Amino acid sequence: MYRLPKPTTVLAALAAGTLLMSGCSSESPVESAENGGEVETIGLMVQDLSNPFFTAMQAGVENAAEDMGAEVVTEDGRQDLGAQNEQIDAFIQQQIDVLLINPVDSEGIGPAVQRAVDAGITVVAVDVTAKNAEAFITSDNVQAGRLACEHLFESIGGEGSILIIDGTPISSIQDRVTGCEKVMEDYPDITVAGHQHGDNNREEALTVATDMLTANSDVDGIFAVNDPTALGAGLAAEQTGVEDLAIVGVDGSPAAEEELADSGSMFEATAAQDPKQLGVEGLNMATKLYKGEEVENTEQLVDTELITADNLDEYEGWE
């Protein structure tokens, strides 16, 4: 993949002519540095560091970076696209070498990602796709949604009504819902009584699920797009007095493990992914691209596995 060099100063950019001007603005603050050497600085941007999925990813990246002798700067997007735009511009100012990005909006982050690429930063999307990133690695989220909903539909006897608690506009969340909907084609006696969006965290899910269960107290199950959402839905069910409800999620988080170990919990299954592996493999891809090495597959999917109370003892988890 041909990459434009990082621009020098304003004067050098003007002197370089239209070729350099096509790759970046003459106002770019980034100094000249040819890619191809060792990665020294790594930017990691995640949606929400209050989610243990992303703290596990951060730990994986930091451990791998320490082995490389590189520095990691992590930014918390706080589920705010504007904040992530500003964070990317700050990384450009800091002249980092590679950026691992987990955007809050896969499409909306595109212009900011392009600014980073134009400034000579190698950008790889991790866990979700990001428009204009040079590569991405994600869990197979269609598979995750399929696994979770297959369990859910079988658990409620192949018939009945469910709620879907969706999330933010990112590829991973959208793919999980797609996977669930594909399974639904094989279960004509399953109906969706309600489908609403949350923002991927437990607190918002508690509010959304409470409203949904108040309006649909006779539903049989809930598909939640991640574990925090599923756990929030479970708390909502308890508080609204809804019983005999099957709830499934996606992640394989430590909190989900605790719920699965509780025989009285309505939380029945989670399609597990590995945030540390995603972060480490994303860094490996970014390092190769930065050095100008060939990456055999710039679009990688990692399998998920269904975890229930029956196989919980065999699950290694995120630790």
pLDDT at position 37 is 83
Instruction: Look up residue 10 and give its two tokens.
Output: 């304003």
Count other C-beta atoms under 10 Å from residue 267's C-beta.
26
Q: What is the pLDDT of residue 268?
A: 98
> Are 10-138+275-301 and 141-274+307-314 in the same CATH fold?
yes
pLDDT digits (tens, 9 = 90+) for 18-33: 333 333 333 333 333 3
Question: Can you list the positions of beta strands (E) in the chain?
Answer: 41-46, 71-76, 98-101, 122-126, 135-139, 160-166, 190-197, 221-224, 246-251, 267-272, 299-302, 305-308
Question: Which superfamily is assigned to 141-274+307-314 in CATH?
Answer: Response regulator (3.40.50.2300)
Map residue 14 onto helix, strand or coil: helix
Name the nearest CA neighbour of 162 among 104, 121, 221. Answer: 221
Domain edges within the chain: 10-138+275-301, 141-274+307-314
Kindly report, residue by residue over 71-83, the tens digit of the pLDDT. Answer: 999 999 999 999 9
Q: Are 74 and 46 in contact (CB under 8 A)?
A: yes
- Residues of the chain whose pLDDT is less than 70? 1-36
Nearest to 180 by CA among 221, 128, 138: 221
The highest-level CATH class for domain 10-138+275-301 is alpha beta
* Cβ neighbour number for residue 36 with a 10 Å cutoff: 10
Query: Can you give the pLDDT at residue 4?
Result: 37
Residue 251 token pair: 């992640």
For 236-255, the three-class secondary structure string (H helix, E strand, C coil) is HHHHHCCCCCEEEEEECCHH
- What pLDDT, on a 0 to 100 scale, did the predictor assign at position 246? 98
